[in-house]
Chain A
């Protein structure tokens, strides 16, 4: 019952969060939309950094730090205009190389 209640409340609330601003879009000032786009980008960045900070690979020492280095490379490529698939692939490859090297050194 706990799962059903939690899912129902979060689902209903999430639908309202998604739908209300769009359904009321004629009344929302452009300035508010611009500020919301900054908030959205900030929360996505927060999401990304939080996931990297909490990343844990039990087989690799200092895995969060290695993941951060790989992510820096990946995001640098994305900023330079490389496709998402290329930048993500390079990041994963970099992490695997760094993780292998770290596992050999320890």
Chain B
């Protein structure tokens, strides 16, 4: 949120359609940047012990980082429980995104909320969160674009094998994209402090597994943001 969250006012259908289209346009550019990452996930799917189940996770887990983490842990022979624990830890952030969205979805139907939840992941949340006035239509446009494109990209990656993993620089594209979406939020002092603390924490814990490292980032970021809020 770019400020204290507020409940939305009812908008005319034409505005909602326009917002949806704007969301689709914003996510289309980001989806292109997600191509290399999706292809990498697809390559991991192809090399899994059970490629069909690993491919189904594209929808079932619907999150590239958790999907990749689960497959990596399984590939190391650590068993399903360890893989599930790591995957869930990586995806804990989804609860934070969903909670942050709550004020704007309070008066939506349960069906609409469920639809929004099923398609919730980093990029749609970050795009909607970075907008001063992010409507539900905008979010749904952005989220549905990625929800349709992501499985296609992963499937292409599974079919093409390790083609993309040979081009290491492409792995930077999704990282830079996520960062570029978050950076404009740094104009808010608590967010800037939180992000700085989380960045330091991430660099210090880069050798830990992803779940534990991200939880430490969350704790450090929240502490720093609260401190900045009290100072201002």
CB of B46, distance to nearest CB on chain A (Å): 13
Interface code B121-154, partner A: CB below 8 Å = 1, 0 otherwise?
A: 0100110010000000000000000000000000
Mark interface residues in B30-53 (1 if CB within 8 Å of A CB, else 0): 101100000000000000111001
* Bound complex: CA A39 to CA B66 (Å): 18
A81 CA / B180 CA spacing, docked (Å):
10
Residues of A within 8 A of B214 (CB): 43, 46-47, 50
B176 & A46 in contact (Cβ 8 Å cutoff): no
A64 to B133 Cα, complex, angstroms: 36
Compute the total of residue contacts between A and B using a CB distance below 8 Å.
Answer: 312
When the two chains form their complex, are residues B125 and A40 in contact, meaning their CB atoms are under 8 A apart?
Answer: yes
Indicate if the CB atoms of B74 and A40 lie closer than 8 Å. no
**Which residues of chain A are near B13, meaning CB under 8 Å?**
none
Interface size on B, residues (CB 8 A): 96
Interface of A is mostly: helix
Are B101 and A22 in contact (CB-based, < 8 A)? yes
Q: A3-B54, A39-B222, A42-B225 are in contact. Are A9 and B177 (CB under 8 A)?
A: no
Q: Say yes or no for B63: interface residue by CB 8 A criterion.
A: yes
Closest to B5 in A: A33
Cβ A19 vs Cβ B98 within 8 A: yes
Q: Which residues of A contact B53 (CB under 8 A)?
A: 3-4, 7
- The CA-CA distance from A26 to B179 in the complex, in Å, is 31
Q: A101 within 8 Å of B by Cβ?
A: no
In the complex, per-residue mask of B95-135: 1 if CB is within 8 Å of any chain A CB, else 0: 11111111101100010011011101010011001000000
Residues on B with C-beta less than 8 A from A14 are 61-63, 66, 87-88, 91, 94
A7 touches B54 (CB 8 A): yes
Q: A: which residues have CB within 8 A of B?
A: 1-11, 13-15, 17-26, 28, 30, 32-60, 63, 67, 70-71, 74-75, 77-79, 81, 83-85, 87-88, 91-92, 95-96, 99
Name 17 extra pairs, CB < 8 A, besides A3-B50, A10-B66, A46-B221: A3-B74, A3-B80, A13-B91, A22-B114, A22-B120, A28-B99, A43-B198, A43-B218, A45-B195, A46-B201, A47-B93, A48-B182, A52-B175, A55-B175, A85-B32, A91-B176, A99-B169
| 24 A–B contacts from the bound complex (CB under 8 Å) | A3-B54, A6-B87, A7-B70, A10-B70, A13-B87, A18-B118, A21-B99, A25-B102, A34-B4, A35-B226, A38-B191, A40-B96, A42-B197, A43-B218, A43-B221, A45-B195, A45-B199, A46-B216, A47-B122, A50-B202, A52-B175, A70-B172, A78-B184, A85-B33
